[in-house]
Structure 1
Amino acid sequence: MTDLSAFPITRQYPAQHPDRLQLYSLNTPNGVKASIMLEEIGLAYEPHLVDIMQNQTWTPDYLSLNPNGKIPAILDPDGPGGKPLALWESGAILIYLADKTGKLLSSDPATRYETIQWVMWQMGAVGPMFGQLGFFHKFAGREFEDKRPRDRYVAESRRLLGVLDGRLQDRDWIMGPNGGDYSIADIALLGWVRNLVGFYEAGEIVGYADFKAVDAWLQRGLARPAVQRGLEIPARG
């Protein structure tokens, strides 16, 4: 049996199946990237719910896995060279799992880097902007009388939706037309767009109805069985 006892995270979240990839996450827009990817590629894994509302990412054991104190993170007992690998940052996890299994990321160098560019776009632009909009629109930002911060993120989120809508005008998925080439680029973005119009309730304020190609893409993605499963993993109590 695989021994993961050298990793302190396993004290906080004991592995019932140490031979499987361990997922430490919560089904937030970033967290579901990892769970959807794992469901899509069919790799055996064991999910552990990390309750960020209870500050569970700030314990010494969790910080030993991810010093940035965020979800998701993974511990793969069968990493490169057969040695365990701990990895954090959702974009890095997507690329690692794609490379490990040869799925959802093209081996053609040009297509590969084009796909990764869209993942980086989500990481550097869509996630931070949509998240700030959620704060200023739905949460504590409503207490601020000055609406310029909110309006800044509304305008930028709308611009980003326009970029995505333009990309999807002639294709079903970000990396390909005619129903093919679903990839980690789609997985990176699905949860964030879903959250923007769902949990953040920001569809009206950003004019989401104008972005018909984005919505058609979102509905295609949400219809995938692996996406439906991944959105609920880890299961909340």
Structure 2
Amino acid sequence: MADLSAFPITRRWPAEHPDRIQLYSLNTPNGVKASVMLEETGLPYEPHLVDITADQSHTPEFLSLNPNGKIPAIIDPDGPGGRPLGLFESGAILIYLADKSGRFIAADPALRYETIQWVFFQNAGIGPMFGQVGFFNKFAGKDYEDKRPLQRYVAESKRLLGVLERRLDGRDWIMGAEYSIADVSTLGWVRNLITFYEARDLVDYDSLKNVPTWLDRGLARPAVQRGLEIPKRI
């Protein structure tokens, strides 16, 4: 049985199955990257709900695993060399799980790096920009009299959707015929933009052709449907 006692986070979120990957998350667009990937790969895992609305990601226990105070984070009791590994940052987690499972990333080095670049495209562009649209369109920012911030982030989000639209022209998935971590990384954010953030009309989503069919294709995957609900706030 794996010993995870060296990780203080396990004192607040005890592991019932310490031999499984421990997932600390919430089903936000970033959080579901890890849960969808775990569902897709079939790797055994145990989810723990970290309620970011109650500031649980800034508790000492969580910060001991991720000093940046963001979900998701994982502990793999069977990490490299058979030693436990703690890991944070959703993009890093996706790459790690792809390598561990041997799935959803190409073995060919050139295709591997091409896949990783699209994961970074989501991490550096789509996530931050779509999140700002959500803040200024639905949350506290909607009350700002100055609408220039909203307009700026809407314009940039439309541009990023355009990049994705062109990439998907003639492709089922971001990397072509094969579903990959690039899709896992991006699906939840596009879904969130047009649903939870209520920005469908703002970004002219219905003027797109390739992105909506790609999103529908991704959301139809059983593992994606399961992963989008894990861990869900009770």
TM band (smaller chain):
over 0.9
Structure 1: segments with no counterpart, 5+ residues? none
Q: CA deviation at 1:9?
A: 0.4
Deviation of residue 3 (structure 1)? 1.0
Paired residue for 2:205, among 208, 213, 218?
208
Task: Look up the SS of the partner of 1:204 in the other structure.
Answer: coil
What is the DSSP-based 3-state SS (H/G/I as helix, E as strand, rest coil) of the residue aligned with 2:22? strand
The question of 1:220 aligning with 2:217 is answered yes
**Cα deviations by residue, 1:203-229 (Å, 9 ceiling, x for unpaired):** 101100111110000000000000000
- 1:132 is the counterpart of 2:132: yes
Equivalences for residues 4-153 of structure 1 within 5 A: 4-153=4-153
Please state how far the C-alpha of 1:2 moved relative to its aligned partner: 1.2
What amino acid sits opposite 1:38 in the alignment?
L
Give TM-score, length-normalised by structure 1.
0.98
Q: Provide the TM-score with structure 2 as the length reference.
A: 0.99
Question: Is the partner of 1:87 in helix, strand or coil?
Answer: strand
2:142 and 2:180 mapped to 1: Cα distance? 36
Amino acid at match of 1:190: L
1:197 corresponds in structure 2 to 194
Q: What is the count of residue pairs matched by the alignment?
A: 234
1:236, CA displacement in angstroms? 2.1
Cross-structure match for 1:181: 178
Post-superposition CA distance 1:23-71 (Å, at most 9, x none): 0000000000000000000000000000001110111111000000000
C-alpha distance after superposition, 1:99-155 (max 9, x if no partner): 111100001011000000000000000000000010001111111111100000010
Q: Which stretch of the first structure deviates more once superposed, 137-146 or 12-21?
A: 137-146
Cα deviations across residues 153-172 of structure 1 (Å, max 9, x unaligned)? 01000000000000111100
Distance 2:140 2:60 in 1: 29
Secondary structure of 1:206's aligned partner: coil
> 1:235: Cα distance to partner?
2.8
SS at match of 1:162: helix
Distance across 2 between alignment mates of 1:142 and 1:54: 22
- Measure, in 2, the Cα distance between the counterparts of 1:93 and 1:124: 15
Report the Cα distance in structure 1 between the residues aligned to 2:17 and 2:81, rounded to whole angstroms. 20
- Aligned partners of 1:20, 1:133: CA distance in 2, in Å? 37
CA distance in 2, matches of 1:102, 1:227: 18
Instruction: Provide the secondary structure at the position in 1 that maps to 2:202.
Output: helix
The one-letter amino acid of 1:56's match is Q
Q: Distance in 2 between matches of 1:133 and 1:182?
A: 27
| Letter of the 1:127 counterpart | G
Distance 1:2 1:162 in 2: 46
**Distance in structure 2 (CA, Å) of the matches to 1:233 and 1:29:** 11
Q: Which whole-Å CA distance do the structure 1 matches of 2:76 and 2:145 have between them?
A: 47
CA RMSD of superposed structures (Å): 0.5
Does the residue aligned with 1:233 lie in a helix, a strand or coil?
Answer: coil
% same residue: 73
